[in-house]
Amino acid sequence: MKRKKMLTTGLGLLITVTGVLGLAACGSDESGAETPSGSSSESASVDVDVADDLENARTAIADALAEDDSWGQIMLASDVKAPTVKYGMLVVPYTPSDAASRVQGTVTITDGAYTIEADSAASGQTWQIDQDGTITEASK
């Protein structure tokens, strides 16, 4: 039963991530020249080379919390195929792209709020995304 639930959850995450990537690819063509000045998340994602990494990580965390919001920490790891419990926390599958030199591995959730950081391999800048999808440069 537990294995079936984990496989189902993993399949759901895979479908969700695939859908998000597809929408991101379609939406990126339209947001080129005329970005509204009031949309900080959208304008930031145009300039941030690790935006896809951050969005995918946020989607993985949000999907895991949708299944069970009692977790205080969730780990993103490339060595698991489906969500599993290791090290006393939930571990969800996630593999960063080459654009990121680092993506935060363990995410702490406090009252539903969290941020995930990623370092750009090209610029070395550190960016973060919050639970609402807002991308900002991380303060040092």
Q: What is the pLDDT of residues 69-81, one digit of tens each?
A: 999 999 999 999 9
Question: Do 17 and 56 form a contact (C-beta atoms < 8 A)?
Answer: yes
What would the mean pLDDT of 114-131 be, rounded to a whole number? 95
What would the mean pLDDT of 12-26 be, rounded to a whole number? 53
d(CA 16, CA 10): 10
Q: What φ, ψ does residue 16 adopt, rounded to 5°?
A: -65, -45
125: left (phi over 0), alpha (psi -120 to 50) or beta: beta
What is the tens place of the pLDDT at every residue in 28-54? 444 444 433 444 444 444 478 999 999
Question: What pLDDT band is residue 128 in, cutting at 50, 70 and 90?
Answer: very high
Under DSSP, the state recorded for 63 is: H
